[in-house]
Structure 1
């Protein structure tokens, strides 16, 4: 029993390290691709004789983007039910990635704090995935619930998943960040599934117990 507990502790430690490393890489990419590019452009504008106004506009954009990044690093406050917290997530994703999401909230069940937090995290990550990897600009997010389970489904308008990147026998897209997401969901005895739709678009479904 001790050996099994030790193995579980090691697996958890590795998972935490992997999530931390992945988050550092993501933040480095965001800072490089967004914030530093704006600052570099502002510096170039300042070097020209008539670039003061452009530099000022670029610096204002950099400040706004910096604030968005800071807000994205903060945990979403669990004030209210999904009918209050999910719209805030959708607004934040639209502001940062311009993904327009229609919310279809068929239920707003009472959830344990950890399930609520994971569900919001999944919504944010999957919608950002629509913009960054699925090349979509619109999505629909549907939430349903039973006495014991809550289900969230996201449908996008992109070209669908690249099936050549899927590991045989597994619903995983390594480059899309799904393995880490799936581990978090399965740690709560939940499930993650996805499929392509015809003629285009993809769907992802997350199922979690209401209490965990």
Structure 2
């Protein structure tokens, strides 16, 4: 084989391997992000639908409450009061396909405004096309104090079977099950549209990678035609630099993705899981509809919304809005307050602002907030501490963030040396290194201190340099 052919292959094979690796990595990551976006969007939609259904049923029960309460006092007119309640519920609706239905606890239909032919019929053994006992599932949920059921029912506006989410509550004094539902066609359509758009974006990205690969191949082919012996060494050096740049870019991208996913989504999902577990424990120890448990579940739903916004932030590389709206000190105070209410930790926050203190750049605020979030999460998950403290000190030339706790401590050298155990600490250190800052750890049983320091004058010099040289 001629020397030119060997050099051509030497350039071609690594290039194709790198492009193939990049293409596979990009496709895998984009697919994973699309799946995560689908799941979080679906969870958010279903959570909003459940809240909406509960609101509708609360309105209906409030509307008939005077009749229901009067029936308990005046049993002689109970039948008249029931009929008035059914008539009132029959007139209530929320759109063409939004209505209320009433069954007794034995499966007999008492009121159905969209399908009046069902009234009076025993539907206890009614099955959907999949064989599920629809009415029995609804009654079982009502018998447990109320709940949500997914089933299939005819949509009045189309006359076709459609998936539906129902919410039912019992009326024990009358032996009724009152409920309503929302058809989920629009949710499925929206999710399908999101999936289609994500698939289209992935295909466009792959086409761009293919075009870049083709352009690269053309460049290599043209260069191979004009190479001579004196250019071979230069080409070899360029290939080595190109390979190094590809490796560095891959490592930087992996580090960025790992840092953002670990510091953001992972911590929020852990918080949500703990909240839901707390709510479940409260429900198990309390009667139904206990307000503290409901408040905990409501907070968990809010956390899920935060997780969705965090995924979008990672996708679009946006800054945390809380820092832009409230500033670092207010954001840290809110973070410590939220974690204190969610756990047994007592977390204090102090701020020290010296005379002529400098304004914190956005990059510094973001880095310090993420460091505090990571450190507090580690305390919550691993330290077994009862008290923690966060301190922010701002002067004219530097800003210092300190996080301490009274937990069991850890072996700093061992954790930093272990690649699988020190991801969070490594992410914190990388954030500060980008700002010319310094991160210090002091840990022993009963006391752990994390100190993050960032120079402010260096950030101003960097900002001026970037304005003077935009390239």
**What range describes the TM-score normalised by the shorter chain of this pair?**
0.7 to 0.9
The answer as to 2:379 corresponding to 1:121 is no
Structure 2 spans left out of the alignment, 5+ residues:
1-237, 311-319, 463-471
SS of alignment partner, residue 174 of structure 1: coil
Equivalent residues in 2 for 1:201-212 (5 A)?
A: 201-210=447-456, 211=459
Contact 1:81 1:110 (C-alpha < 8 Å) held by counterparts: no
* Partner of residue 99, structure 1: 345
TM-score (norm 2): 0.37
TM-score (norm 1): 0.73
1:200 Cα offset (Å): 1.9
**Does the C-alpha gap of structure 1 residues 57 and 160 become closer, same or farther in structure 2, counting only changes over 3 Å?**
closer
1:177 Cα offset (Å): 2.0
The answer as to 2:397 corresponding to 1:148 is yes
**Does the C-alpha gap of structure 1 residues 89 and 27 become closer, same or farther in structure 2, counting only changes over 3 Å?**
closer
Match of residue 35, structure 1, among 276, 287, 302? 276
**Does the C-alpha gap of structure 1 residues 65 and 193 become closer, same or farther in structure 2, counting only changes over 3 Å?**
same
Match of residue 323, structure 2, among 77, 83, 96? 77
Alpha-carbon distance in 1 for matches of 2:294, 2:420 = 37
The answer as to 2:334 corresponding to 1:88 is yes
Looking at CA atoms only, which structure, 1 or 2, has the larger radius of gyration?
Answer: 2
Contact 2:412 2:443 (C-alpha < 8 Å) held by counterparts: no
Structure 1 spans left out of the alignment, 5+ residues:
none
1:159 Cα offset (Å): 1.9
Alpha-carbon distance in 1 for matches of 2:332, 2:442 = 23
Contact 1:131 1:137 (C-alpha < 8 Å) held by counterparts: no
1:194 Cα offset (Å): 0.5
Greater RCO (CA < 8 Å, at least 6 residues apart): 1
Aligned residues: 202
1:30 Cα offset (Å): 4.5
* Partner of residue 14, structure 1: 254
* Partner of residue 188, structure 1: 435
Alpha-carbon distance in 1 for matches of 2:294, 2:350 = 38
**Does the C-alpha gap of structure 1 residues 41 and 92 become closer, same or farther in structure 2, counting only changes over 3 Å?**
closer
**RMSD, aligned CA:** 3.6
1:155 Cα offset (Å): 1.5
1:58 Cα offset (Å): 4.0
Alpha-carbon distance in 1 for matches of 2:426, 2:440 = 12
1:178 Cα offset (Å): 1.2
